[in-house]
Amino acid sequence: MGYWVYAVMFAAAFAAAAVIGAFVVPMLRKLKLGQHILEIGPNWHRNKEGTPVMGGIIFIAASALVTAAALLFKKGEGAAPVLCVFFLALANGVIGFLDDCEKILKKQNLGLKPKQKLVMQFAVGAVFLLLVSWLGIFKGEIEIPFTDISFSTYWFITYPIALIMIVGSVNAANLTDGVDGLLSGVTVPVALFFGVAAAALGLESVAVFACALAGAICGFLIYNFNPARIFMGDTGSLFLGGATIGLAFVIGKPLIFIVVGIIYYIEALSVMLQVGWFKLSHGKRIFKMAPIHHHFELCGWSEKTLFAVFSLVSAAFCALGALWILGIL
- Give which of 289, 244, 288 is closest to 262, Cα–Cα: 244
Which of 35-44, 170-179, 185-194 is predicted least confidently?
35-44
For residues 139-149, average pLDDT = 88
- How many CB atoms are closer than 10 A to CB 96? 29
pLDDT digit string (tens) for 79-119? 999 999 999 999 999 999 999 888 887 766 666 888 999 99
Q: Return the pLDDT at 113.
A: 85
pLDDT digit string (tens) for 236-257? 999 999 999 999 999 999 999 9
Which residue type sits at 315? Answer: A
pLDDT digit string (tens) for 7-33? 999 999 999 999 999 999 999 888 877
Higher pLDDT, 239 or 143: 239
Q: Return the pLDDT at 318.
A: 98
As a whole number of angstroms, the distance between CA 322 and CA 326 comes to 6
Task: Provide the percentage of residues in the chain whose pLDDT is more than 70.
Answer: 93
Whether 294 contacts 42, CB under 8 Å: yes
| pLDDT tier at 51, thresholds 50, 70, 90 | confident
Q: Return the pLDDT at 109.
A: 63
**CA distances for 190 relative to 95, 141, 206, 257, 272, angstroms:** 22, 22, 14, 9, 23
- Give which of 129, 246, 136 is closest to 190, Cα–Cα: 246
Q: Return the pLDDT at 260.
A: 98
| Cα pseudo-dihedral 10, 15, 18, 19, rounded to 10 | -140
For residues 127-146, average pLDDT = 93
pLDDT digit string (tens) for 147-175? 888 888 888 899 999 999 999 999 999 99
Question: Phi and psi for 312 in degrees, rounded to 5?
Answer: -70, -40
Q: Given a cut of 70, is residue 218 above it in pLDDT?
A: yes
Calculate the average pLDDT of the chain.
92
| pLDDT tier at 282, thresholds 50, 70, 90 | confident
Cα angle 195, 79, 64; round to 5: 65
Q: Given a cut of 60, is residue 190 above it in pLDDT?
A: yes
